């Protein structure tokens, strides 16, 4: 056999060997693995005033977490109570109807934050960007406590998913 023929056979064997090594050592494509992946879903489907606040000087809010199942939602409430007087004192705000409504909004925002943190700690990942903006409390250049209010909407759905065990 000629040198050229031997070289062609050696190259063919090397090509087959390299192809076999690549095929058996590298994992399958993500699209093929995703076929067996199963997810479960949850949604924070809005906030509401929960059971009556702990007292007249308290603001109360809750958010509902709905764990989607074939039989429907398994609901869980995350509730927050905010002492209005402590809130006003901490933020250095005057006692007015407007500022008391900010205490109620703080209860809503804290409930959302606690629910999102709870789901994150349990391995849930946010699927959709929520339309939630928290209020910003700061002291302006004239040393006056100021509030920049976040976006207010009635229903704010935040969707989550995680791999099913």
Neighbours of 148 (CB within 10 A): 11
State the Cα–Cα distance between residues 162 and 165, nearest whole angstrom: 9
State the Cα–Cα distance between residues 137 and 142, nearest whole angstrom: 14
Judge contact between 43 and 159, C-beta under 8 A: yes
What is the chain's mean pLDDT, rounded? Answer: 81
Judge contact between 132 and 122, C-beta under 8 A: no
pLDDT digits (tens, 9 = 90+) for 122-142: 999 999 866 667 778 877 788
Distance of CA 144 to the CA centre of its chain: 34
Give me 110's structure tokens. Answer: 């804290």
Going from N- to C-terminal start, the domains of the chain cover: 3-33, 40-163
Specify the higher pLDDT residue, 107 or 57: 107
pTM: 0.67
Q: Evaluate if residue 165 carries a pLDDT over 90.
A: no
State the Cα–Cα distance between residues 60 and 83, nearest whole angstrom: 9
């Amino acid at each position: 056999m000629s040198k050229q023929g031997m070289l062609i056979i050696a190259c063919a064997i090397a090509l087959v060997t390299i192809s076999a090594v690549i095929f058996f050592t590298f994992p399958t494509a993500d699209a093929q693995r995703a076929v067996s992946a199963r997810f479960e879903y949850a949604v924070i489907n809005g906030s509401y005033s929960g059971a009556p606040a702990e007292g007249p000087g308290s603001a109360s809010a809750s958010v509902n977490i709905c764990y989607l199942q074939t039989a429907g939602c398994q609901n869980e409430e995350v509730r927050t109570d905010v002492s209005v007087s402590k809130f006003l004192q901490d933020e250095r705000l005057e006692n007015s109807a407007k500022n008391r409504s900010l205490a109620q909004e703080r209860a809503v925002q804290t409930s959302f934050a606690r629910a999102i943190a709870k789901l994150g700690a349990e391995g849930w990942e946010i699927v959709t960007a929520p339309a939630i903006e928290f209020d910003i409390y700061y002291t302006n250049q004239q040393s006056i406590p100021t509030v920049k209010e976040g976006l207010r909407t009635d229903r704010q759905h935040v969707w989550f998913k995680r791999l099913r065990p």
